[in-house]
Amino acid sequence: MVQSLNELKESPSQTAGPYVHIGCTPNFCGIGGVYPEDLGARMKTGAVQGEEIVITGAVHDGMGMALKDALVEIWQADAAGKFPGHDADADANFSGFGRSPGDMETGRFRFDTVKPGRVRWPDGRWQAPHISVWIVARGINVGLQTRIYFSDEAEANAEDPILARLEHQMRVPTLMAQKQDDGTYLFDVHIQGPDETVFFDI
């Protein structure tokens, strides 16, 4: 026998179920008066630095249908690449955290945020501007991790260590928010199928 490592196991995940909005966005699903507002509903609390952007999209199942019971969360750096609450010089009017329940009829999520600045990779290289994404819903047994990159950052994307690491380079567009004619970005997620989004194990 050898010594015990005395390490614990992470609590196993369980699906968020069909009623995740009761716990995470109660005002959205008609449970008013418990919390003054839903967590993550506002990412900007005043005038923010940098380019203000809107990202919309929907999460699709393996049959191509939009989920109407998903919860999407994002976490990102501010316009200067600083993380709110962690970097002392981060934008004080920007939370970096957004949570969207998606529209009850269409499943469409929406984030009013800022274009993130570049952040370094652990080895010192620059990553392209990106937003971390976490998706839970009924039927998703372990929350899905992915990232939003931006289609109009071709130069930075070409240098990004994660995008470069993808064996199937034809899947890179699944991580790209596409700039639309109205100036917003579109980021559709496909959980399964030929257009399956690249999900991460991080």
Residue 113 makes contact with other proteins by CB under 8 A: no
**CB of 129 closer than 8 Å to CB of 149:** yes
- DSSP label at residue 23: H
String of b and e for 21-45 (b: at least 16 CB within 10 Å)?
A: beebbbbbbeeeeeeeebebeebee
Instruction: Pick one of 23, 42, 92, 106: the residue that binds other proteins (CB under 8 A).
Output: 23
- Tell me the closest approach of the beta carbon of residue 70 to other proteins, in angstroms: 9
Position 136, amino acid: V
**CB of 130 closer than 8 Å to CB of 148:** yes
Residue 92 makes contact with other proteins by CB under 8 A: no
Kindly tell me which of 86 and 181 has the beta carbon lying closer to other proteins. Answer: 86
Q: How far is 110 from 192, CA to CA, in rounded Å? A: 22
Stretch in the footprint of other proteins (CB under 8 A) among 105-113, 149-157, 165-173, 179-187: 165-173
- In the region spanning residues 46 to 75, those forming contacts with other proteins, defined by CB under 8 A, are 61-63, 67, 69, 73, 75
Stretch in the footprint of other proteins (CB under 8 A) among 45-53, 106-114, 149-157, 186-194: 186-194
Instruction: Pick one of 55, 57, 72, 76: the residue that binds other proteins (CB under 8 A).
Output: 76
**CB of 79 closer than 8 Å to CB of 115:** yes
Kindly tell me which of 56 and 146 has the beta carbon lying closer to other proteins. Answer: 146
